[in-house]
Amino acid sequence: MTVSRPVPAARAPRKAATDPAADDALQLGELSGHLGYALKRAQLRIFEDFLRCVAPLQLTPAQFSVLLLLDKNPGRNQTEIANTLGILRPNFVAMLDGLESRELCVRVRSTNDRRSHILMLTDKGRAVLARAKKLVATKHEARLNELLGPANRAALLEMLAKIATEF
């Protein structure tokens, strides 16, 4: 009895080792050992995947983070939210303008300090956040969990938290 094996897909012909174009990838050298470079490259890939996952909702990772914080901290002022997320004030104001124009949140002048605005999610904002959380959990985070495994995921989160708080 003969067993048929799947025929591998055709590959592009390999360039000869003597062809200088065969090694056209840049050599990273010591850059590949720099933690900051590795973190940035990983962040870019993670953000690309996040954006694909929530594309129907048109949310950036920063906007998603703001909506999450507003959900858990209703009535906090915009300075507290921006500082917690490390977003510069001018960038945060522009982001809030966009979220407000989409009717996902509202700014209300504080009754305690008229110079300050408190932030609240709207019903639409809560609905969009619920959809985003589901997409992120079932697609984005699920892929990361599959790639890393539970123990590595927990270890990575611990290491990143250590860098963020102690470095």
**CA–CA dist 34, 161 (Å, integer):** 18
Distance (Å, whole) CA 25 – CA 28: 9
pLDDT band at 22 (very low <50, low <70, confident <90, very high): low
What is the pTM assigned to this prediction?
0.81
Model confidence at 57, pLDDT cuts 50, 70, 90, reads: very high
Among 75, 141, 156, CA closest to 108: 75
Mean pLDDT of the region 69-76: 94
| pLDDT in the model for residue 112 | 82
Mean pLDDT over 77-97 rounds to: 95
Single-letter amino acid code for the residue at 75: G
Mean pLDDT of the chain: 89
Contacts 24+ apart (CB under 8 A), 129-135: 129/64, 129/67, 129/68, 129/71, 129/104, 131/57, 132/54, 132/57, 132/59, 132/64, 132/67, 133/68, 135/53, 135/54, 135/56, 135/57
In order, the DSSP letters of 18-55 are: T-GGGG-SPP-GGGGG-HHHHHHHHHHHHHHHHHHHTG
State the pLDDT at residue 19: 57
pLDDT at 110 over 90: no
d(CA 92, CA 77): 12
Q: Model confidence at 6, in pLDDT bands (50, 70, 90)? A: very low
pLDDT for the residue 3: 43
- What does the pLDDT look like over 25-37, one tens digit per residue? 899 999 999 999 9
